[in-house]
Amino acid sequence: MPKVKLDGTFCLTAQCEPGKKKTDYYDTSITGFVLEVRSSGGRSYYLRYQDAHGAQKQHRIAAYGDITFDKARKEAQRLRSQVTLGGDPAASKEQKKAIPLYSTLAEQHLAHAKTYQRSYDTTAMYVNRHIVPKWGKVRLTDITQQGVAQWLAEKAGEGLAPATVEKIRVILGRSFELAKQWGMAGSDKNPTRGVPRKPIANARNRFLSAAEVK
């Protein structure tokens, strides 16, 4: 468990100790800030710490090369402050992983809709063509009211009719209503609520026939 002052130069040149699968270099400035160097040549930044119960934990910050050393160091300082205040970064990360992606909710929404909706094909089209491409890989708690409002405005800007944009909003909102009914993690807030809606004008011009004129 070598202790060194981690900096950009050291992290660039650090090597795994001969005969070992990995070597952990602990920073002398930030308690628990670690550069893990593997015999394969890979390396990663971690913060290692004890939680409130004394259990050893670690939180992976990033792979070396994915972020700069300065950013890794700042993140280590932030996490260390969180631990000092009684937080548990590793537990928070696991809790976040437990929140499903929208694609998972979409599958369950459509499976449910198929059991009773006459307009199921239309719902599936809106979900697969518009909603999943935007939000499929996003966790439910990361879908915000502001993000949804901006996205719907972009849809309107693409030339979609107001009624179509409203249908998309309603279906996304229905997904979150179902998720809450099912007790799905991350569904406490429905991001479609409070999103401004443009008035829908369904009026159309129609010319009278000759018979109607008489």
Q: What's the order of all strands across the beta sheet hosting 22-27?
A: 3-4, 22-27, 33-38, 43-50, 56-63
**Of all residues in the chain, what percent carry a pLDDT higher than 90?**
76
What is the value of pTM for the model shown? 0.58
Is 178 a residue whose pLDDT tops 60? yes
pLDDT score for 153: 95
CA distance 154 to 61: 34
The residue extents of the domains of the chain are 3-97, 102-181
pLDDT score for 214: 65
pLDDT score for 161: 93
pLDDT, tens digit, 9 for 90 and up, residues 80-132: 998 988 888 877 777 777 889 999 999 999 999 999 999 999 999 999 999 99
For domain 3-97, give the CATH number. Answer: 3.30.160.390
Average pLDDT, the chain: 91
pLDDT, tens digit, 9 for 90 and up, residues 28-49: 999 999 999 999 999 999 999 9
How does strand 33-38 pair with strand 43-50?
Answer: antiparallel
CA distance 149 to 127: 17
Is 202 a residue whose pLDDT tops 70? no
CA distance 109 to 175: 6
Residue scoring higher pLDDT (126 or 52): 126
Structure-token pair, residue 65 = 């090369």
pLDDT, tens digit, 9 for 90 and up, residues 184-194: 988 999 999 99
pLDDT score for 200: 58
Is 10 a residue whose pLDDT tops 80? yes
pLDDT score for 203: 53
What distances in angstroms separate CA 50 from CA 79, 91, 92, 97, 178, one per listed residue? 12, 12, 14, 21, 39
